[in-house]
Structure 1
Amino acid sequence: MVILLRRTFSEEIKEELVKIPFGSRDEARSELLGFIKARGDFDVKKRQLVFSLHSFAASRRLLNLMKYISVPVVEIVVEKSHNIRKRFIKIMTEYSESFMQIDPFSDVALFVSFLRGLFLGGGSMTDPKHHYHLEINLFEEDVLLSTKKALKFFFNVNSGVVELPNTRKLYIKSIRDIMTFLEAIGIQEKLREIERIVTERRVISDVNRTVNFIEANAVRTAESTARQVKAIELIQRRMGLDKLPEDLRKVAFARLMNKELSLRELGKRLNLTKSQLYSKLKRIIKIAERFGDVK
């Protein structure tokens, strides 16, 4: 029996990143450095660099990247687990000081490649249908802060930092900043999907806001009408509507006979503006308050 697992939104993004051609050797080295900072561990005894990746797409990218810049692969191990989503691939290579001899923050092209390696190695993004959140695991505080600063400098992207017991994370919450980040590292196809989802969410939000406003307005109108009727009925019982001034008596009778009408609709029947009618009803309520509570 074959079980087909739906890929996560993050994995779909990484699948697109894998297809992006490598740039110069320096850009490729900068991307490798991104992988190292996100998922690289140094085995002191074997003097090996060990990458532990949960993403099969990221693993393919890393292997092709190492081949592109002639970095030998010592061993590849797929760790087994009862939960296939928790499996990860270990890729081992001999450590070299040359891996670290590049400054990814000195040039925008190098920084973009570095970001791509960071996201492939330790990044994830929540499906925007649910909410907006992108994050990258980064263990070294100085690298994290430099990345945050460079994101702002090169792309005007605002990011935050959170420290957890075993790691640190750089995160982006604004959908505008998330889309700028994805565009910078080379995402195009998924970006169009995200734009569509954002537009749909915005439309739904506007509709919900409008419906809520209409419902709230209907409640306020009903409560206001009920108060007006209560005031008129109280005056009718305590002093009689015929004791009201002629203009108020006319309004009082009209309201009692047309409880379902809005102020605008009732005003049209009485040849009064909404403001004029509201003013007369307020005067009626003031008179009624002499005899009791009309709230």
Structure 2
Amino acid sequence: MTFTAEVKDELAHLKPSRRCCRLAELSALFHLEGVLHVLGSHRLAVHTESENAAVARKMFQYTKELFSVSPQLRVEKAPRLRGHNCYCLYLGEEERTAQILNELCLMDNSLRPVLGIPERLIRRHCCRISYLRGAFLGGGYISKPDQPAHLEINVQHDEMANDLRDLIERFGLAFHVNKRHRMQVVYSKSRRDQVTFLALVGAHRAVLRLESDAVLREIREDVNRRVNSETANLERAVDAAQRQLRDIRLVEDHAGLEMLPAALREIAEARMRYPEASMKELGGFMHPPISKSAVYHRFLRIHHMAEKMV
């Protein structure tokens, strides 16, 4: 199951208690997944298709509970889904179909399609949240936690896309609209807005998954940074030790270590005895012990002497 399917499955099992909230959620679902058929003589029918059984079941239950009608629910094999099940909900030539569509704000009193989101459907704060939940269930997609953040809702009309973006922005989230083929896409690439949106519509398990993955990713990145830093430090230390040994051998071959001042001879002999020791460790071998800075300056003096012997 994809992460999008997991999120939709979680949201499909949320059932708000208020009738107005269920109405708003069902309206969004029909708006994004429904196809309206005008049969003539003011007769109407509408059907929807969903890949998710829980979403289709929710639409069936809401339609039955809110309007006391029993739509048909069929399971078909969809070629576009590579033979996977597609759940088709069909609200046929009921006498009340036009009234139902009007109450869902999908058609106005003149039986013309409503392309945007009527304000009367989302007056309450709870209804706005329910509408967004239905919109994601109907046309939403979210990237996997280990991929770059991307959340989108696909809609058919400009009016719907702009209204949906404006509705989301009421909650302080920055979403954008872009055209893709024949669809309008309302989207965000912000991980923060992605998490906030999911928490808003009630996908709390998905939020925990995203946040735990983010923590694990941060830990892995921190460990990698530390390992890379320590590896780089080790490589620099090895390179420095090799340069110091070359300088010492050059001085030894040309003049002998006996000609070095006592302090320089002591550090040179320590480096030859402990070729893998760090600067700090070499400082501890001195009598008395000296700092890393003092060790560095002793090797610098040896280096200047070696340069003159080349």
TM-score (norm 2): 0.77
1:21 paired residue number: 15
Aligned to 1:123: 140
Deviations 1:57-87 (A, max 9, x none): 1111111222232174554343314666743
- Stretch of structure 1 that moved more, 218-227 or 258-267: 218-227
| Residue 296 (structure 2) aligned to one of 259, 278, 294 | 278
Q: Report the CA distance between 1:145 and its aligned residue.
A: 3.6
The equivalent residue for 1:3 is none
SS in 2 for 1:89: strand
Cα distance in 2, alignment partners of residues 69 and 216 from structure 1 = 67
Give distance in 2, aligned partners of 1:30 and 1:21.
Answer: 12
From 58, 63, 70, the counterpart of 1:61: 58
1:229-279 superposed Cα distances (whole Å, 9 cap, x missing partner): 223223333444444444333322222221111111111112111122223
SS of structure 1 residue aligned to 2:275 = coil
Q: How far apart in 2 are the matches of 1:206 and 1:85?
A: 44
The worse-fitting range, judged by mean Cα deviation, of 54-63 and 84-93 is 84-93
Name which of 25, 47, 59 aligns with 1:31: 25
Q: Which residue of 2 aligns with 1:112?
A: 129
Count of equivalent residues: 285
For normalisation by structure 1, the TM-score amounts to 0.81
Report the CA distance shift for 1:255/1:55 in structure 2 as closer, same or farther (over 3 A): same
Identify if the C-alpha distance between structure 1 residues 110 and 279 changes in structure 2 by more than 3 Å, giving closer, same or farther. farther
Map residues 33-48 of structure 1 onto 2, 5 A cutoff: 33-45=27-39, 47-48=44-45
Which amino acid in 2 is paired with 1:288? A
Aligned counterpart for 2:199 among listed residues 163, 183, 186: 183
Pairing of 1:161-240 with structure 2 (within 5 A): 161-240=177-256
C-alpha distance in structure 2 between counterparts of 1:289 and 1:153, whole Å: 71
Residue 266 of structure 1 is matched in structure 2 by: 282
Show CA shifts across 1:77-136 (max 9, x none). Answer: 433146667432222334533322732665432221111101111123333255544332
Deviations 1:33-78 (A, max 9, x none): 3213432333345743332211111111111222232174554343
Structure 1 counterpart of 2:290, which letter? L
- Secondary structure of the equivalent of 2:263? helix
Q: Which runs of 5+ in 2 are unaligned?
A: 92-96, 109-117
Superposition CA RMSD, Å: 3.0
* Identity fraction in percent: 28
CA contact (8 A) 1:73 1:91 kept: no
The within-5 A match list for 1:74-85 is 74-81=71-78
Read off the aligned partner of 1:49 and give its amino acid letter: V
Moved more, 218-227 or 197-206: 197-206
> What SS class does the counterpart of residue 67 from structure 2 fall into?
coil
**Cα contact 1:37–1:139 (8 A) shared by 2:** no
Residues 174 and 71 of structure 1: CA distance in aligned 2, closer, same or farther (over 3 Å)? farther
- 2:113 corresponds in structure 1 to none
Structure 1 residues 232 and 107, CA gap change in structure 2 (3 angstroms)? farther
Give the match's secondary structure for 2:170.
Answer: helix
Query: Partner amino acid for 2:20?
Result: D
Distance in 2 between residues matched to 1:64 and 1:56, nearest whole Å: 12
Flag the 1:216–1:22 CA change in 2: closer, same or farther, 3 A.
same
SS in 2 for 1:42: strand
> Who is 2:273 aligned against?
257
Greater shift in the superposed pair: 20-29 or 94-103: 94-103
